[in-house]
Amino acid sequence: MDFITVFINQANYILWTYVLIAMLLGCALWFSFKTRFVQFRMIGEMVRLLGDSTAKIDGHEKHISSFQAFTISLASRVGTGNLAGVATAITVGGPGAVFWMWIIALLGASSAFVESSLAQLFKIRSKHSYIGGPAYYMEKGLKKRWMGIIFAVLITVTFGFAFNSVQSNTICAAFDSAFNIPPVYMGVGITVLTIVIIFGGVHWIANVSSILVPVMALGYIVLALYIVFSNLVHLPDVISLILKNAFGVEQAIGGGVGAALMQGIKRGLFSNEAGMGSAPNAAATAHVTHPAKQGFIQALGVFTDTLLICTCTAFIILFSGEGLDGGLDGIQLTQAALNSQIGNIGSTYIAVAILFFAYSSILGNYYYGEANLRFIAKNRSVIIIYRILVGGMVLFGSMASLKLVWSLADVTMALMAICNLIAIIMLGKYAFRLLDDYLMQKKKGIESPVFTKEKMKDIENEISCW
């Protein structure tokens, strides 16, 4: 196990130090420049689209507004990355990591616009809706099915295995802290429940989660905002601490700036997923009149996730002063910080909330993997093996160390993001054309722009849904 840990840590260091950070920031800057900073100048349109009705599909109006779709996606975003990931970033990278989380969100929103617009452009019809994502735009846009297969394998490993081990680890740590339940007992319970559900058993649990998760997500946002506003007098000191640790001379000499930058970008990417290639899988399923619309909504989602929710968690931790000596980490640090603000009920609330957040993520992660496995092959035996392995990784995560599961997730996340970034940098020209087409229609006074594939003659044969 020591050898595996050393190998994973070394791979993690190489990927993040020399490859991914440069690619993430490089792509984000390039997309920001080419779109003339769409993530800033189109914020008004992003907000307007939240109230925009969905398009008529086959003559029937879908009774789900853009605002409703946004709130559902926001609820699904609030989870491990926002509660535990932020705490880990501060513990390992110091308060300065928060600054770099802001930067990757502000710049990375342009990458989110590009990848989600491409997912819409190259989506295909399935039995009841649409499917798409990086594997599909690699196959149809780049005409490189082999690349789509590589991505499909990477997202399956990242979400089905690595991220699910993080989720189960977080649940077990939270319940150990709040209720003194040994991780192994909690891990076995979560594993059994996961296997039962993914094999098509207890559907009512998924239905209950679909109700409770949005309620608890909104509850956490309200609670976090209340704590922030209650501590406004300390806000200037906290912001000063963040900036000093992001650029301070002492941190630069000790290598702290590099640690802050790396942790901020890692945890920011885990939370908002901008450029990673996961969100496009969901973005492709939406019914819109123009691909750029989903790009705008996704960019706004990045801002909301990191600049609002992650920042609230960071402020709660920094207001409390808990864990800055490295004594606590992950979800237990967030629990301790919340306890210092509202009493012991904070630890219990976080434990119960993270159970629903993380467990719903386990199921969502599983389906990301299965959907991409079906891109590769439709052999049922492969899906059955995958389901068993997912259960195994959930159990592994519950008993593994926090650092090991996060390191494993970082390695697979890096490989997946690299594959997607290569694809969207090559296909970015189509997203730029979609943006230009959308803006041109808006200038003509068209309130709700419409796209048809005839507008892109060079790839018309590869576009099937427009």
Chain segment 136-152, per-residue pLDDT in tens? 999 999 999 999 999 99
Q: Tell me what the mean pLDDT of segment 82-107 comes to.
A: 83
Helix (H) / strand (E) element for 334: namely helix 330-342
pLDDT at 203 over 60: no
What whole-number distance in Å separates Cα of residue 279 and Cα of residue 87? 23
Interatomic CA distance for residues 313 and 85, integer angstroms: 10
Cβ 149 vs Cβ 463: under 8 Å = no
The closest of 103, 30, 84 to 306, measured between CA atoms, is: 103
Query: Cα 231 to the chain's mean position, in Å?
Result: 28
Domains and CATH numbers, the chain: 9-54+62-462 (1.20.1740.10)
Q: Taking the CB of residue 384, how many other CB atoms lie within 10 A of it?
A: 11
pLDDT digits (tens, 9 = 90+) for 313-355: 888 888 887 666 666 667 778 888 888 888 778 778 888 877 8
Dist CA 163 CA 161 (whole Å) = 6
**Cα angle 110-423-451, degrees, rounded to a multiple of 5:** 65
Prediction pTM value: 0.83
Cα(24)–Cα(19) distance, integer angstroms: 9
HSE toward the beta carbon, residue 429, CA cutoff 13 A? 6
Q: Which of 198-207, 268-277, 457-466 has the lowest mean pLDDT?
A: 198-207
Alpha carbons 148 and 142: distance in angstroms, whole number: 9
What is the rounded CA–CA span in Å between residue 120 and residue 282?
A: 10
Residues 23, 306: Cα–Cα separation, whole Å: 20
Structure tokens at 24: 């993430």
Indicate whether 29 pLDDT > 60.
yes
Residue 38 is encoded by which pair of tokens? 């769409």
DSSP character for 453? Answer: G
Helices 291-303 and 66-77, interaxial angle, to 10°? 40
293 DSSP 8-state letter: H
| Range with lowest mean pLDDT among 74-88, 143-157, 175-189, 379-393 | 74-88
Q: Which of 46-55, 57-66, 108-117, 369-378 has the highest mean pLDDT?
A: 108-117
